[in-house]
Amino acid sequence: MKYLVLLVSTCFAFLATAQPGIVISHEENRQAVRDLTGYEWKMKMMLPGEGVKAGLHKLPPEDIETLVWNAAQVPGDVYTDLWKCGAIDDPYFGRNSVKAQWVQHYEWWYATQFDVTTDLTDQLVWLNFEGVDYSCEVWLNGQYLGKHEGAFSGFSFEVTKAIRSSKLRLKNRNILMVKLDPPPQVNALVAGRKTPWFGDYWRDLIPFGITRPINMVMTGASRITDLFAKTKINTDGSATVDLEIEVNNTSKNPLSITATSSIEGENFSETPRTQARDFILKPGKNKIVQTYEIPDPKLWWPWDLGDQNLYKAKVSITQNKVNHDVLEKVFGIREVKMEWNPGFTRDEVSFPRTTTINGKFHFIRSACWGGPPDIFVGRTSVDEYKKLIDLAKAANMNNIRIFGWHPPEIPEFYEYCDRAGLTVWQDVIPLGTGNVPQDREFIDRTIGEGIAVIKERRNHPSLIMMEGGEEMFLRATDPKFTLSLLEEFRDSLHTYVNLPFVPDSPMTDEASQEAGFKPKEAVHALAYFYSMGNWPMEEWFRTMDYPIVPEFAITSVPSVESLKKFIPENEMWPPGLSWGHHWADLDHLRAQNFDTFGDQKTGSLEEFVNATQDSQGIIFQLGIEYFRRHKPRLSGIALCHFITYWPDMKWGIVDNYQQTKWSYDFVKTAYQPLLVNLNFEKRRWANHEPFKGEVWVVNDLYKRYPDCTIKVDILDSQRRKLSSTSHKVAAIEENSAAKLFDIQENVLGKVSDKFHIHLSLTDKNGKELSANDYMMLIGDQRLAARKFKEMGTEIRRKNGKFKYGNYYQFFPALIEGTYDSQTQNPRAEGFPKSRN
């Protein structure tokens, strides 16, 4: 079982090394924080509107009535808490998610009780919520604090008068009560403020809960509410860092304070820089700036371009040398710019799509995150985030794209990316529909949510690109309004951070053209899957010529070991209804197996599962290599997806249990920064034909490799050598993509069904720099293409009768009612009738 963010406070005082009102040095000062996360929470179900009528918010703090409520965890979610206490069956298993749909129609009350013994004289106490999905109301000791809507924006309450603090046991008990409203049922009405709960890898179960930590902070009359390290690299190589400090003076009178700040190396040794200045704070919000000039800055780079140097900024606010508040942030110094992709005219594209980091071309080797790791965040641990980021880097990715069907991630995600050197391409908020209300209130609330998200994350150097929407124009009934919304969103965000902004993805559809975008903006490379059978994979790639590919998708099935965790045993093989419920498009999977192997590979569960993973991998491999050979005309690729947020049979190359599929290894090879690769016309060859191809090397590194050798081995199905040739290469140039030579070998006469080609690139000392491998077939390309097209025609016929996503089409016995529901489960058409 998996849980999120565990930092539990069991003591009866604030966890603090320093508190407001204490004279302490800037270096030693720490914020006084009481953590309210963990397992000391209880939950109770009520009909909508009935909790307040019943007086739950008036429960006496000293009472023990909540002992009989169900146990709960914060951060977490309602479904996971109910699953753990046995109120619902695991929503991930089988088709149990359908049985849990009742949960989203009730309100849920969460309560925790805690003691405070700290002397709060002349202090202010703040209750901070980092995130609640989606709508809540809050009471402390029966006092109403307020209401909040929006899953991604934090909020806080000043609770000094409501908190009970004493050394006496009977006077220091507190009860915090949070009412979660039933979640919204129409995403368009809350677009950008709640994660969409639809799409072709989830079923209709709307997540909600207290999804991020809650803590209490003690301050003086002035409170630091934000700290932004705004960096600039100057033409002489020096850097300017403006520490923009937002301070709230909670008193009714001006305050004379001293702001002391410091900057030092966070993961490298550097003498701290410190300055102190006096300011007069007017009542309310104040912005003060302290500027540092760094002559020789240590820059932050993606991992394949340099080191991940990080700085730490710290600010203390004091009045007459008595501490009011302190805040620390980690940041990096780097410069992100966008340049025009060479080869495209202004009539073809509207804006630049080539990312540069500190002046160097950052070719984006990415995948759509598809997260969080679990849509029910109570099942996810921070350790899983670390493992997944490590897996992404090990797969030679240098970027993660968080796109508009998924929420902005937790702080640890960006921290891990900062340290791993993975850049982040971020849809700021999940705007996954273009059909949103056009009234001013909706626009202001949505943009406000985006501002809150970007302010929380803007110090992370890994964050290099902001995007406004995901397929908004694709679904927009009013493209002009959608354009104006995204332009206003862009301008609002640029008030807070100077990062490249992309309006939407893709922008090659009819509505995008109507809005004024050009025909070559960006493409979602999804047509091979959604139009399965129109082209063999190697022919489909050649239809695409765009500056960037934000999504490139193909599907597969998790391993048999993983399947056993969410598919009932009696539905395992042949595929039963739970396969369809978990989005196994069985017709598409069989068809892509045929295109890859010339066989649907349905002989056994293991054969079918493994073939889908190999098919996904080979399609990704060949597509990635095709796109990378077009560098710098093409500047980036994002696979769809790296993970998905529940156990499904869809896009990810890492499954919900953090197990890599075989396709992961193909991606790891194709994403090598230095990649030797093969361009060829087709995958099926006749025995009498010579094999022909072109050998290329793509180099994303800023390093030149002189005097190299490329070895080409052609092997039969048993991997016995049919031929072996070596080719000298004068040099592999830095940041390049080049064809080096042609090959033509007459060796296929002895091959019966398939053969392999292995490439190896070595340096002048014989050290292997890159290796690659291809599986080819013996067969008739035109005949196979015709059969593949026939399979596609049948798929489209069935989709015309059954709406895409209706998995009943795979189970004729379910439609016809020709099975005994007491003793049988419908079996998928096109698979063996016997089980193995």
Helical H runs in 399-459? 411-420, 440-457
Question: How many alpha carbons lie under 13 Å from residue 451 in its C-beta half-sphere?
Answer: 15
User: Can you state the angle between helices 479-494 and 440-457, rounded to 10 degrees?
Assistant: 40
CA gap 657, 644 in Å, rounded: 10
CA gap 493, 558 in Å, rounded: 39
Q: Judging by DSSP bridges, how do beta strands 255-265 and 311-319 pair with one another?
A: antiparallel
Number of C-beta neighbours around residue 622 at 10 A = 22
Residue 692 belongs to what domain range?
Answer: 676-781
Instruction: Read off φ and ψ for residue 274, nearest 5 degrees.
Output: -135, 145
480 occurs within a structural domain? no
Boundary residue ending a domain (757, 781, 805): 781
* Residue 23 burial (10 A CB sphere; 0-12, 13-18, 19+): exposed
Cis bond before residue 496 (omega within 30° of 0): no
Task: Please check whether residue 690 is in contact with residue 681, taking contact to mean a CB–CB distance below 8 angstroms.
Answer: no
Q: Judging by DSSP bridges, how do beta strands 768-778 and 70-74 pair with one another?
A: unpaired
Q: Are residues 89 and 226 in the same domain?
A: no
Token pair for 17: 């090394």
265 occurs within a structural domain? yes
Residue 688 identity? H
What is the reported pLDDT for 696? 98
819 occurs within a structural domain? no
269 occurs within a structural domain? yes
CA gap 834, 836 in Å, rounded: 7
Task: Please check whether residue 775 is in contact with residue 756, taking contact to mean a CB–CB distance below 8 angstroms.
Answer: yes
What is the reported pLDDT for 800? 87
CATH of the domain at 736: 2.60.40.10
Q: Are residues 204 and 285 in the same domain?
A: no
H/E segment holding residue 391 = helix 382-394
Q: Judging by DSSP bridges, how do beta strands 124-129 and 214-219 pair with one another?
A: antiparallel
CA gap 833, 326 in Å, rounded: 68
Number of C-beta neighbours around residue 352 at 10 A = 16
Domain count, the chain: 3
User: Can you state the angle between helices 382-394 and 411-420, rounded to 10 degrees?
Assistant: 30
Residue 503 identity? P
Q: Are residues 149 and 289 in the same domain?
A: no
Q: Are residues 159 and 241 in the same domain?
A: no
Bridge partners, residue 399, by sequence: 423
CA gap 13, 15 in Å, rounded: 6
> Block means of pLDDT (10 residues each) for the chain, length 836 residues?
38 49 69 90 97 97 94 97 97 96 97 92 93 97 97 96 87 95 94 89 92 95 96 97 97 94 94 94 96 97 98 94 92 98 95 96 97 95 96 98 94 98 97 87 96 97 96 90 95 97 91 92 93 94 94 97 97 95 96 97 97 98 98 97 95 97 98 98 96 98 98 96 97 98 95 96 97 97 96 92 89 82 80 69
Q: Are residues 88 and 187 in the same domain?
A: yes
CATH of the domain at 145: 2.60.120.260
Strand order in the sheet with 38-46: 70-74, 38-46, 107-115, 173-180, 135-140, 143-149
Q: Are residues 236 and 159 in the same domain?
A: no
Question: How many alpha carbons lie under 13 Å from residue 826 in its C-beta half-sphere?
Answer: 20
CA gap 374, 92 in Å, rounded: 10
Token pair for 141: 């000791």
Q: Are residues 267 and 281 in the same domain?
A: yes
Q: Are residues 57 and 173 in the same domain?
A: yes
H/E segment holding residue 52 = helix 50-54
341 occurs within a structural domain? no
Question: How many alpha carbons lie under 13 Å from residue 727 in its C-beta half-sphere?
Answer: 19
Q: Are residues 305 and 191 in the same domain?
A: no
Instruction: Read off φ and ψ for residue 617, nearest 5 degrees.
Output: -65, -45
Residue 255 identity? L
Question: How many alpha carbons lie under 13 Å from residue 352 in its C-beta half-sphere?
Answer: 13
Boundary residue ending a domain (331, 357, 380): 331
178 occurs within a structural domain? yes
Residue 728 identity? K
Q: Are residues 135 and 178 in the same domain?
A: yes
Q: Are residues 41 and 187 in the same domain?
A: yes
255 occurs within a structural domain? yes
Q: Are residues 63 and 193 in the same domain?
A: yes
Boundary residue ending a domain (781, 796, 811): 781
What is the reported pLDDT for 835? 52
- For 326-375, the DSSP string reads EEEEEE----EEEEPPTT--TTT-SS--EEEETTEE--EEEEB---SS-S
CA gap 641, 794 in Å, rounded: 27
